[in-house]
């Protein structure tokens, strides 16, 4: 079963920027209803893309430094990091097809 890696200000560099695989990072919060609706879609993709990408989650309330660095103003925001750089971004609740369309070319 695929699950989200928990990322915060402390482990962001090692887990995301230095990852050998692309990392799909969801910026969210426990109180965010659209985040809760997005997560089952991301978990499905995590299972399908196993070995191609890692899926991680960051709580914007607990990780202000990373949230500000990437100018995340709205949750959920999903950013794909590849080779230490943010290469693609989706803001707000998105349909699965849109997520696949945006991120698959980078895998």
How do beta strands 85-91 and 77-82 pair?
A: antiparallel
Question: Which residues of the chain have a pLDDT value below 70?
Answer: 1-2
Q: What is the pLDDT of residue 2?
A: 59
Assigned CATH topology for domain 5-102: Glutaredoxin (3.40.30)
Catalytic-labelled residue, pool 16, 35, 66, 79: 35
How many residues in the chain? 107
Q: Where are the domains of the chain?
A: 5-102
Q: What is the pLDDT of residue 3?
A: 79
Nearest to residue 96, comparing CAs of 47, 23, 31?
47
Nearest to residue 72, comparing CAs of 84, 59, 83, 82?
59
Residue 107 designated active-site? no
Residue 98 designated active-site? no
pLDDT one-digit tens code per residue, 43-53: 999 999 999 99
Catalytic-labelled residue, pool 7, 23, 25, 32: 32
Nearest to residue 65, comparing CAs of 12, 6, 15?
12
Q: What is the pLDDT of residue 95?
A: 96
How do beta strands 5-7 and 77-82 pair?
A: unpaired
Single pTM value for the model:
0.95
């Amino acid at each position: 079963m695929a699950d989200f890696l928990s990322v915060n200000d402390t482990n962001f560099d090692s887990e995301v920027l230095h990852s050998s695989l692309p990392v799909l990072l969801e910026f969210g919060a426990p109180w965010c209803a659209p985040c809760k609706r997005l997560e089952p879609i991301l978990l499905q993709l995590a299972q399908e893309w196993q070995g191609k990408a890692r899926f991680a989650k960051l709580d914007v309330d607990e990780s202000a430094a990373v949230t500000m660095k990437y100018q995340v103003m709205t949750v959920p925001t999903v950013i794909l990091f590849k080779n230490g750089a943010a290469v693609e971004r989706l803001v707000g609740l998105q349909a699965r097809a849109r997520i696949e369309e945006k991120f698959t070319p980078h895998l």
